[in-house]
Copies of this chain bind each other. A is one copy, B any other.
């Protein structure tokens, strides 16, 4: 296996640190628009070589694949660049893995009830071509989407005879402090992406029935607030519906009645996002400000601490997981939360990367190792739930990062 990693930012950097300990691949080209950043990440292993890449150019990606005889392209940049990387890999005859899917566009007339262009639509549109060519695009293979989708497949195969709802629930108790020890507001993940996720109309999937038309539909942002009790000491966090890939992936492969994604933003963060939206500071279109043009959302991201730098000042744990309700294998009602918790101090000490980017990066490394072994194989545009979950969860545990499961009251 010869990997092209596109993007040596937070997640890309953690990806190189994790993969450096594994022997399933022969070579990795670590590419970034910023060559210096690529070189820094590539310095950690002798199988790595740095390169410059323009992720917005299919030709740039394709040329790099051909030059280095790449077999697998790993996309670790902002999803706005998904299509040129995805198409570049295909053109070069390489397989492809990403951690977020092609972007959505709201319905022009009724954005808060009907879907417009959905997450991944552009990628699924060419699934037939990938399948015919015998090439694999493994999409949404981070932690969420990614591990959450693996949990869905595991629940269907091993825990439930009938599934009512597949509800991804993400929460954390991370706190960032300044040099004086005061808590500061510093998101642990890209603020640009967080705004995108949280202010886009959340998507929900429901099976058609006598009462329900069925299929995908949207709601207003921050809908259906719910307090979810997260395990391992994180505790209760206010969660709201958010647009996320799981809702687009799971119903394609896993039999169920309903799929949701709720993000444990907490009251303070929800309030901040609402204010940014009220003021128009979430907008990406440039505005003229005293002779220069800037995107307000870029300014919001620029005034906050860089998520890549908050690791050493952060304490707490992050939890990704899937809450499954339905009927167990024993024919009795069941409500189970399958989860994966990473402690920031452990991730910083063990890998030098903060827990949120580390947790995102570890899953595609595990998946690529399964692909390299031949344990996971397939052709087309496939989500993680299209593959057997057991070997994935076993290998994740072997990586030193076990998953957990807790029964909830039914």
Q: Interface readout for A253-292 with B: 1 if CB under 8 Å, 0 if not?
A: 0000000000000000001100110111101000111101
A279:B303 contact, CB within 8 angstroms: yes
A15, chain B: closest CB distance, angstroms: 25
On chain B, the residues within 8 Å of A302 by CB distance are: 287-290
Closest Cβ of chain B to A394, distance in Å, is 43
A406 within 8 A of B: no
Segment at the interface with B among A133-141, A230-238, A293-301, A312-320? A293-301
A399 lies within 8 A of chain B by Cβ:
no
Complex Cα distance, B278 from A283, in Å, reads 19
Check if B303 sits within 8 Å of A296, measured CB to CB: yes
Does A351 lie at the interface of the complex (its beta carbon under 8 Å from any beta carbon of B)?
no
Contact of A80 with B by CB under 8 A: no
- Asked if residues A304 and B280 are in contact (CB atoms below 8 Å), the reply is yes
Is there contact, CB below 8 Å, between B283 and A303?
yes
* A305 smallest CB distance to B (angstroms): 9
Closest-by-CB residue of B relative to A185 is B278
Complex formed: what's the CA distance from A388 to B18 in Å?
A: 78
Contact B275 A303 (CB under 8 A): no
CB-defined A-B contacts under 8 Å, sample of 16: A272-B275, A272-B279, A275-B276, A280-B303, A280-B304, A281-B299, A283-B303, A289-B294, A289-B295, A289-B298, A289-B302, A290-B298, A292-B294, A294-B294, A296-B299, A299-B299
Copies, count: 2
A272 pairs with B278, CB closer than 8 A: yes
Collect the chain B residues with CB atoms within 8 Å of residue A289's CB: 294-295, 298-299, 302
Q: Which residues of B contact A290 (CB under 8 A)?
A: 294-295, 298, 302
Q: A292-B294, A294-B294 are in contact. Are A287 and B303 (CB under 8 A)?
A: yes
Interface size, A (range): 20 to 34
List residues of chain B with CB within 8 A of the CB of A298: 289-290
Closest 8 pairs (CB-CB, A-B): A275-B275, A292-B292, A280-B303, A289-B302, A299-B299, A185-B278, A289-B298, A287-B302
Residues in B whose Cβ lies below 8 Å from that of A272: 275, 278-279
Question: Which of A352-373 touch B at CB < 8 Å?
Answer: none
A292 closest partner in B (C-beta): B292
Separation of A294 and B290 alpha carbons in the complex (Å): 8
Q: How far is the CB of A36 from chain B (nearest CB, A)?
A: 17
Which chain B positions have C-beta within 8 A of A275?
271-272, 275-276
**Contact with A281, one of B271, B288, B293, B300 (Cβ below 8 angstroms):** B300
Of A185, A275, A304, most B-chain CB atoms within 10 Å: A275
Q: Within the assembled complex, what's the spacing in Å between the Cα atoms of A295 and B299?
A: 9
Chain B nearest Cβ from A300, distance in angstroms? 7
List 17 extra interface pairs beyond A287-B302, A290-B295, A294-B294, CB under 8 A: A185-B279, A271-B271, A272-B278, A272-B279, A279-B300, A279-B303, A281-B281, A281-B300, A287-B299, A289-B295, A290-B302, A292-B292, A292-B294, A294-B299, A296-B299, A296-B303, A299-B299
Bound CA span A292–B275, Å: 25
Kindly list chain B residues whose C-beta atoms are within 8 Å of the C-beta of A283: 303
**When chains A and B are docked, how far (Å) is the Cα of A296 from the Cα of B287?**
12
Q: Which residues of B contact A296 (CB under 8 A)?
A: 299, 303
Q: Which residues does chain B contribute within 8 Å of A303, judged by CB atoms? A: 279-281, 283, 287, 296
Query: How does the 8 Å CB contact mask read for A88-128 relative to B, with 1 for contact and 0 for none?
Result: 00000000000000000000000000000000000000000
Q: In the complex the two chains form, what is the Cα distance from A287 to B289 in whole Å?
A: 13
Expressed in whole angstroms, the Cα–Cα distance for A21 and B302 within the complex equals: 49
Shortest Cβ gap from A254 to chain B (Å): 39
- Provide the residues of chain B in CB contact with A185, threshold 8 Å: 278-279
Chain B residue, CB-CB nearest to A277? B185
Cα(A371)–Cα(B275), bound, Å: 46
- Closest residue to A191 on the B side, CB-wise? B279
Nearest-CB residue, chain B, relative to A268: B278
